Chains A and B, each alone.
Chain A
Amino acid sequence: MSLYILPKERLPGFVENLRTQFRVVGPVRSGTGYAFDTIGSAEEMELDYPTTILPPKKYLLPQREVLFSFHTDSDEQGARQIEVKPVFDAVEPTVIFGVHTCDMHGIMLYDKVFAEGYKDEHYVARREQTYIIGIECLRPCDDASFCKDMGTLTAPPVYDLHMTAVDGMYLVDTGTEKGERLLLSNVEVHLATTEDIRRLSQTLSAKWPHFRHRLKMTKDQIPSLMTINYGSNIWDTLGEQCLACGSCTNVCPTCFCFDVQDEVALNMTDGERARIWDSCQLHEFALVAGGHNFRESKASRVRHRIMRKGKYIQQVHNINGCTGCGRCQRACLVNITIPGTLNALYDEMQIDLNPAGGA
């Protein structure tokens, strides 16, 4: 697998060819922002978009996904009969263009969560039919992102193809054999020359100074920071601010929790069991029959979310639980932010460690 040159003027033809075989998805304008959506032509995409409202997770774990269909009936004696049938029909071969490096880190986590332990074949079926075409981030999205702190400013090995815009062309790295086949069979490209690769290196090294650090600690210190500060008063403060709306978890590329709901047709015998995005920020999330709620307070729910991002996901999957994409900050109605929270915890700890400093 190699580095190829795709001249920018050949992108429309590439997309056109792909559209005959796949649902092609890319970042398009949506209201005042951008969103991943199905595209009719390359011109609809803006590959130098800042960020999207939702990460591309919606194509791998749709907001609503049918798990199986069912039919219930009664036999002659009136006993309930049940038929269940797994549903995998909705899986559509898809090419996702323009995935940022942070979102690829999110997909890397999803691959671990859903493919390890009990294999979730609903996810796997979609994933196998999905091509990820990344785009190298050369400028920060906006002030909310902190990918540089989280180490997600470089592409992890989940892409099939990864494009870097260099002058009038894209340098395309092939991450998988199926990605290379997709490229070579749908557009005319040529191997990058030594000079092309020199310009790529120059572009990549020039991008770093444009990204700033927002965290006062390194990402490797975050799990310990979370452990030390489990009992911090900051969670109570955040709990008072939080509206428990769940916007943060909806837009998060590493949130994957879901509810399972049955939906019955009007005939009351046919229906579907579907999974639907859920949020640990909602009151019912840890409520059990009988009325006990294991996270009754908003403080405990905000803490759980940020603990997951900063520590728990790392403990279970050995991958950072936060990609630094900044979406939860943009979505939050009361301006609760992960960098703000982590920095406040860090500051608090500095004070505790240096009691004389407060005098």
Chain B
Amino acid sequence: MFETAANLVTTTTPRTANGHTSVYLPTVAQVVDVQTETVFEKVYTVRLPGGENLGHRPGQFVMVSIPGVGEAPISVMSSPSRTHDTFRLCIRNAGDLTGVIHNSVLPGDAIGIRGPFGRGFPLEVFKGKDVLIAPGGLGMAPARSLIDEILDNRDEYGRLIVLYGAKNPSEILFREELRAWRQRDDIELFVTVDRPDESWVGHIGVITRLFPRVQINPFKTVAITIGPPVMYRFVVMELLGKGLTPDQIWMSFERRMKCGVGKCGHCQVNHRYSCQDGPAWTYAEALAFEEAL
């Protein structure tokens, strides 16, 4: 059932030297737009040479680099349905590379891209089902690729339920989209924050507090949760409590990655490489690896 990343279409266009091509050579792409999302996150719109389509699926990632600084895996935020000659990345200022990106990358700047890599979410499995998506924190960025994909092909899916948890109101991503989603009757959105401020009138508490608010049909629902490792145990417990089986629950297991192509060893979860047959795994699959949760 596993489609290895090697079989997936990749837009990496390695160039040749001495008759050899390198999987480590990034494609030089251009940042065409930068939007500040929160104090920690910015959204970068990236254009590959010739406006080539990235050709990714929701849940896949690209290796982003600035030569001289380094390279890091970043989930693709845009859905395939909204990816034509550009794609978008929501980048948190969290490490060495992302710090430099935040402080120096402006529209017009070149940036290195390799990928897309990983298995991503199987839309073919989700089609026809009710889809419950539970992102926490920055997990909302890869979740966007899935939510937008479903919204743009709305007839092909059942209910769309989004339970979103953020630390505090200022860290909530995509406020405009959340507002627009609230106006629609084909997406059920619940947002909670751990630490409210005076202005906050919504739900308060960790993401699991939202689960009692929705009722699902466990026979025809798939759930996807993307967030920090600490969140998964608690979210999975809620989902199991609603009668979902482990193979109806999908999660994204993000790890340190240096190569993206299953060689460097950093992203290993037991014997599996997150960059190759992850980062999206079902809870049933994850149960087989002690290091997953």
Contact = CB atoms under 8 A, between A and B. Distances in A.
A72 B259 CA distance: 22
B109 A79 contact: yes
B195 interface: no
A72 B68 contact: yes
25 contacts: A68-B22, A70-B68, A72-B67, A79-B106, A82-B112, A83-B28, A84-B28, A84-B67, A87-B17, A88-B20, A89-B17, A113-B263, A117-B276, A118-B23, A118-B263, A121-B23, A260-B258, A262-B67, A262-B70, A271-B68, A278-B264, A290-B92, A307-B270, A312-B271, A316-B271
A91 B18 contact: yes
Interface in A294-309: 294-295, 304, 307-308
Contact of A125 (B18, B66, B95, B290): B18
B17 A285 contact: no
Interface of A: 67-68, 70, 72, 77, 79-89, 91, 113-114, 117-122, 124-125, 230, 256-262, 264, 268, 271, 273, 275, 278, 280, 285-290, 292, 294-295, 304, 307-308, 311-313, 315-316
A295 B25 CA distance: 29
B105 A120 contact: no
A67 B25 contact: yes
Nearest to A91: B18
Contacts of A311: 271
A121 B256 contact: no
Give the 3 A-B CB pairs with smallest separation, nearest first: A289-B95, A257-B265, A312-B271
Interface of B: 4-6, 14-18, 20-26, 28, 65-72, 92, 94-96, 98, 104-106, 108-112, 228-229, 254-256, 258-259, 261-266, 268-271, 276, 290-291
Interface of B is mostly: loop
Given A89-B18, A273-B24, A289 B109 contact: no
B95 A117 contact: no
Nearest to B271: A312
B73 to A, nearest CB: 9
Contacts of B264: 257-260, 275, 278
B271 A114 contact: no
Nearest to B262: A117
Nearest to A313: B271
A262 B265 contact: no
B23 A119 contact: yes
B65 to A, nearest CB: 8
Given A114-B263, A119-B23, A289-B95, A86 B17 contact: yes
B49 to A, nearest CB: 12
Interface of A is mostly: mixed
B271 A84 contact: no
B263 A288 contact: no
Given A117-B262, A262-B70, A307-B270, A68 B110 contact: no
A311 to B, nearest CB: 7
A120 B270 contact: no
Given A118-B263, A259-B258, A86 B95 contact: no
Given A79-B109, A286-B255, A124 B67 contact: no
Contact of A120 (B5, B23, B265): B23
Nearest to A68: B25
Given A88-B22, A262-B69, 20 more contacts: A72-B66, A79-B110, A82-B110, A84-B25, A85-B17, A86-B17, A86-B25, A89-B18, A117-B6, A117-B262, A118-B23, A121-B21, A122-B20, A257-B265, A257-B266, A278-B264, A288-B255, A289-B94, A292-B229, A308-B268
A304 B271 CA distance: 9
Contacts of B258: 258-260, 275, 278
Given A80-B109, A256-B263, A86 B16 contact: yes
Given A79-B106, A312-B270, A315-B271, A118 B262 contact: yes
A260 B67 CA distance: 11
Nearest to B107: A79
A264 B28 contact: no
Given A256-B263, A260-B258, A82 B111 contact: yes
A262 B68 contact: yes
Contacts of A262: 67-70
Contact of A81 (B110, B262, B263, B291): B110
